Amino acid sequence: MKRPTILRSSTFAVLSIAALLPALLGCGSSAQSYVKPMVDFSYLQRAAVLPFQNLTRDDLADERMQSVFLTEVLSAEILEVSDPRETAAAMLTLGIPANQGLTPEQAIALGKQLSVDAIFSGIVEDYGFARGGLDRSPEITLVLALTETETGSVVWRSQVHETGSSFWKRIFGGSPDDIYEVSRETVRKALGTLL
Amino acid sequence: MLRRIVRIPLGVSGAVARHGRPGNRVASTMHGLVMLSAGLLLGASVATNVRCQEPPAVQAAGTPTALMVFIDYEGAVRPDLSPTELRVEAAHALAARISPDGQGVLSYPEIEPSMRVWGVRTAGDLSNDLLHALGAEYGIETVVLSRLVVFSDRLLLLSRGIDRKSGTVAWAEIDETSLSDDFWKPGHLDMERWRSAVAKLDPIGNRGPSGSGVDEAPTALVLPLRPFGLSPHSGELASHALLEALLSSNRFRIPDPSLVRNVLRAKGHDPSMLDVDGRNELLTWYEPSALLVPDLLTFETAPISSPTITEFGVEPADLSPVSSARSPLYFQVLAVDCATRQVRSADAVYLEPDDSVGLFGLTHHVPLARRFEKAAEEIVEQLQKRGGNL
């Protein structure tokens, strides 16, 4: 009678470890998001993507994150996306600064100009490698928002902090993910709260 | 080396609003006007110069071809020989590769007056007016545009063949040759050495200069690539590799990107911020099935102020900015419907940093050209999996 009990315990332990290991070895991350209640997202068919704002010291962080975001949002096949070059032209026409958030009036005007139902915007808050130790682990903090263009109100917002390493990776000597993988994972985590 | 990212078919109809005039008719009409106004604006002296220029005889053997050679120097490379002489020698060496006996090929010195009249100073200045002038004055049928990029340790040749009448790219070719360590040593470089180095490069590959375009295929316009954090030459290389891969697939008809850019410029449109009017201009001229919008970004994140490898007493093999072309890169191509302005697909590859170290610590780099060609082939392969229907 004891033997099966012992087996069950060890099996449970092994399964528990097996289940937890990927999580323990995976990237460290945290995410917060807000979705406006009572919004019909099926109404949003076509979106524009604004140039991302860059609050980091890396001059290209915004361009990198916007490119990765564009690919990921298109891969979801949920929304049509207008050409970013036309978005840039429309912002210039309307006198909207590239490195600032939109006011509701600007969002409505841009929506009309581009014939889009919603506008994605992004802010790169952290982008680079964690300091200290021998381990150069990438760290990214990204804020994404979706503004619907009928009223100019924000209907979704998500902030994700992602690192390429984790406590267990450091303990077991696993190499951190490269910054591209972390960029992609950051965007996916953020979009995962919307799509 | 490459990591495939994603391919996104959105199931959008390929129908494009068909309106406006056919490109060729517009081109010829416009040409007449531009020729007339340019003649008036340039004044008598230039015009007389052109008229007095004895038109060199282009032999009937083979396709009458004009070879335009442009040289760009990457990084700190500054040869102590005359740039003009280097260009003439390079043009001679490359012309000999196209036609060993020199028959049927006009090169830089001969066609220089026409280039000057039409303001063609770089490879990006090619215009419909110049193509028409080359046909009218010299009977040229094919233009081979070769851009020689000179690095400290190699020469890179980006060539493409353009059908003069239609302005479409018939073929694109990239060739690369390495230079010896003492190539740029002061007093060591002479014209013979330069010529033999350039002569190793093949501008046309295994084909005739005229090549064959695909007339019935859907038209794809390749907009200028934006290189972020990279030298312009890295962008040119990536863009050229994309062109080569697209043409190799035989599924697209591609008007020369320089001509497309200059069509937009002539009407005051910026290709990097293409508005509705700019798109309408392209629809009128080319009726494109899609606009291909390429971007190239470096994912190298080391801050510029950080200690460099030289400060640790290690000399890197190459101090020129081309080393960034070996950094981790993100090569993305958006296919945009010109009429609806909607992004139809996004294809991208991530290029791992090319810093592989082989046995005994020896570094074996993949040739730069091959690195970008593989990435472009990967992207076009994704396009083709959709049946090539943009």
Please state the pTM of the whole predicted model: 0.79
Rounded distance between C-alpha atoms, residue B156 and residue B278, angstroms? 33
Max mean pLDDT among A121-135, A180-194, B201-215, B302-316 falls in A180-194
DSSP code of B10? Answer: -
Q: What is the average pLDDT score of chain B?
A: 77
Tell me how close the Cα of A149 comes to any Cα of chain B, in angstroms.
17
- How big is the A-B interface in CB pairs under 8 Å? 103
Instruction: For residue A36, give Cα distances in angstroms to A33, A145, A146, A188, B369.
Output: 10, 11, 10, 20, 50
Say if residues A126 and A163 touch (Cβ distance below 8 Å).
no
Residue of B5, B226, B343 to mutate when probing chain A, most A C-beta within 10 A: B343
Say if residues B26 and B285 touch (Cβ distance below 8 Å).
yes
A67-95 pLDDT, tens digit per residue, is: 999 999 988 888 899 999 999 999 999 99
* Interface membership of B277 toward A (CB under 8 Å): no
- Kindly list the residues from chain B whose CB atom is less than 8 angstroms away from the CB atom of residue A57: 303
Nearest Cβ partner for B273 among A60, A67, A85: A85
Q: What angle do CA B188, B193, B198 make, to 5 degrees?
A: 135
Own/partner long-range contacts of B38-41 (Cβ < 8 Å, ≥24 apart): B38/B117, B38/B118, B38/B129
- Evaluate if residue A124 carries a pLDDT over 70: yes
- Kindly list the residues from chain A whose CB atom is less than 8 angstroms away from the CB atom of residue B272: 85, 88
> What's the complex ipTM?
0.80
Confidence of residue B323 (pLDDT cuts 50, 70, 90): very low
Tell me how close the Cα of A131 comes to any Cα of chain B, in angstroms.
12
Residue in B219, B175, B218 with CA at minimum distance from that of residue B197: B175
- A 10 A CB-CB count for A100 gives 11
Say if residues A190 and A157 touch (Cβ distance below 8 Å).
no
Residue in B98, B238, B292, B258 with CA at minimum distance from that of residue B169: B258
Instruction: For residue B241, give Cα distances in angstroms to B31, B159, B236, B325, B380.
Output: 31, 10, 8, 14, 10
Contacts of A152 (CB under 8 A, 6+ apart): A102, A103, A104, A105, A106, A107, A108
- Evaluate if residue B59 carries a pLDDT over 90: no
Q: Do B275 and A74 touch (CB under 8 A)?
A: no
Confidence of residue A194 (pLDDT cuts 50, 70, 90): confident
Tell me how close the Cα of B156 comes to any Cα of chain A, in angstroms.
27
Rounded distance between C-alpha atoms, residue B274 and residue B282, angstroms? 10
Instruction: For residue A57, give Cα distances in angstroms to A122, A124, A131, B306.
Output: 16, 10, 14, 13
Tell me how close the Cα of A97 comes to any Cα of chain B, in angstroms.
14
Nearest Cβ partner for B8 among A46, A67, A75: A75
Rounded distance between C-alpha atoms, residue B173 and residue B206, angstroms? 10
B92-129 pLDDT, tens digit per residue, is: 999 999 988 878 888 877 888 888 888 888 888 899 99
